[in-house]
A and B are shown apart, each in its own frame.
Chain A
Amino acid sequence: AQKVTQAQTEISVVEKEDVTLDCVYETRDTTYYLFWYKQPPSGELVFLIRRNSFDEQNEISGRYSWNFQKSTSSFNFTITASQVVDSAVYFCALGGLNFGNEKLTFGTGTRLTIIP
């Protein structure tokens, strides 16, 4: 069975600080996708990134960066120079690559509050 653990339930940081959200996953699949979604107070899940299990390169997109380490089954997300607009619940998710197995398994989320 697939499982995603986000051990940090809530994090609060002061604006402009850097913050890292942790994600650990379990799967028996050899190929899979990992995702991060943002859920702002409005409620709609916003896609941030998808990473496949073949590619362990870190990725940076503006103030966002992701560190994928297959050896530790982790896919952590860092926000640099945080802003108030980053306040939201962030979900890490795991998805299969095989036909018929493309549902997402989500973690319980980390609520991030940026204090102005």
Chain B
Amino acid sequence: DTGVSQNPRHKITKRGQNVTFRCDPISEHNRLYWYRQTLGQGPEFLTYFQNEAQLEKSRLLSDRFSAERPKGSFSTLEIQRTEQGDSAMYLCASSLTSTRLGEQYFGPGTRLTVT
């Protein structure tokens, strides 16, 4: 499978716990994006990386959220002290800047439920 993969696909956690999600982009893609999608809404941008550098963070990304892409390949998104409002689908996308600038391919998402 050469598409974007995300793990886990589903996560149920209790309020106050920490969670970490992983995204593996398409292998040759140098840009990686995180979005959040709540029910009935379109995805909202959270942050993105070019290689290992984090280039932009949305104001939606509170201090409890942190994302890394340590070797410019896979990325992790951690949420500390989860709140019920964090329940959403977390989507990862990747793109290749040298040819298809801006064309982002999405993974299947991680659905987070905070109880």
Contacts and interface: CB of A to CB of B under 8 A. Distances in A.
Interface of A: 4, 33, 35, 37, 42-47, 50, 91, 93, 95-97, 100-109
A4 B44 CA distance: 12
B40 interface: yes
Contact of B106 (A45, A96, A102, A107): A45
A108 B41 contact: yes
Interface residues on B, range: 20 to 34
B109 A44 contact: yes
Interface of B: 31, 33, 35, 40-45, 48, 55-56, 58, 89, 91, 93, 95, 97, 100-109
Given A44-B107, A47-B103, A91 B33 contact: no
A35 B109 CA distance: 19
A108 B40 contact: yes
A96 to B, nearest CB: 8
B102 A33 contact: yes
Contacts of A95: 102, 104
